[in-house]
Structure 1
């Protein structure tokens, strides 16, 4: 192509970028001042962090055999929460997808219900269910089920909002019911994305299940909290390393599965 015919590249708006950086930087400094962050306090206490690192290394590998049972329980809690929450997320997502929802009222109610689920963190649900059904794996599984519904339904509904609507309209025009439209023309277009979202939720649940154990929701998090309270930092490091390796393995498996599905 002739040099003269090439479209001119848009010049970067340096003034706009400078304004954005200035606003973000100013808001950050204002936030730091508001919460009382102090660089002096940080550097004066950094020695405590070094002492904690020295006490945490090397990991207590002799403690590893005692972790297999709680860690297996953590995986089981994450799996139950993912499966139950993934199934419940399907109708929630269908009703929250605006082009698919049967009417505006249903869409509005379901969308706000989904927003409420996302507003509450998984730790809140764990504390709530622990108070309701007692401490243990059941509370963790219920909390992760709600968390999975919140995550998967949001992503899944957005996928359904971007599908080709010609096929659903053809099903309705030929006399098909709303359920037939969803079953035969909507869901087949988004099943691969749904499977990908469920795998992603399982990754999140494995991480979250360790945190939920800190509030008595079962799993290896309860062991972590006990060792931390006892200042057994070498054992804490061992637990963190074990979970880190497991999460990395699960993440790689999940990535491989998602690449085959999409």
Structure 2
């Protein structure tokens, strides 16, 4: 049986980690030219921006309804498409039910590639391929959804009760029958929760993707910022905050019911 490390040794380890973290932080700050004094000197510029942004232009709010609907639509399409594709990707990445070792390795590497590249990269890539607009944003969020859902869902599949899958195989069932009758029924509630979580992330993500021309409220935000309409920018940010909080609370409540 492994004995816990003595308290003084644990304290020394934590001190070493903290000292290393502080040293790396200082080194990073010096390397990028981070300066607290410069930040303080530029504080009046931030105050001026806040004064120009307040109060928000509430008269601009009705013009945001259409872009907000487009943002939610982009997030919904991206989530649904990604959720469907994520099912086979997650199953093949779950070692206990993956058909063979090679398939498991290839699928794991595929998932790693999807998670490594950010959604902004996919948005710019699809914007180049299909043009700027909502389609590019929906495609980018589809890839992002596959990356998020497949990672979480594969971990749930790996934790299933294998007795049920072995019973299906013992009764003469095929690999697909084992997955459909023995594995997936155990994890559908978790899958639904992951899909809702991905939708919540995609609503936020679609707003950011609009800044690179992928449609939605982000394009309106970038246009108003470029025109120095800071009161309208404040209105957009306030509206985004309210919408995101409402969707987040709805998603959390629904996920609790499902799990």
Question: Normalized against structure 1, the TM-score is what?
Answer: 0.94
* Selected match of 1:240 from 229, 237, 241: 237
> Aligned residue for 2:119?
122
| Consecutive aligned runs of 4 or more in structure 1 exceeding 6 Å deviation | none
> Aligned residue for 2:107?
110
1:161 aligns with 2:158: yes
> Aligned residue for 1:77?
74
Q: How does 1:209-228 map to 2 (within 5 A)?
A: 209-228=206-225
Deviations 1:1-42 (A, max 9, x none): xxxxxxxxx857322222221111111111111211111211
Q: How does 1:17-96 map to 2 (within 5 A)?
A: 17-96=14-93
Which sits farther off after the overlay, 167-176 or 239-248? Answer: 167-176
Deviations 1:67-97 (A, max 9, x none): 1011110011101111111111000100111
Q: Quote the Cα distance in structure 2 between the aligned partners of 1:134 and 1:14.
A: 56
* Selected match of 1:99 from 69, 90, 96: 96
Q: Quote the Cα distance in structure 1 between the aligned partners of 2:51 and 2:232.
A: 13
> Aligned residue for 1:251?
248
> Aligned residue for 1:180?
177
Q: Which runs of 5+ in 1 are unaligned?
A: 1-9
Q: CA deviation at 1:47?
A: 1.3
* Selected match of 2:194 from 187, 194, 197: 197
Which sits farther off after the overlay, 206-215 or 14-23? Answer: 14-23
**Structure 1 counterpart SS, 2:127:** helix
**What is the Cα-based RMSD across aligned positions, in Å?**
1.4
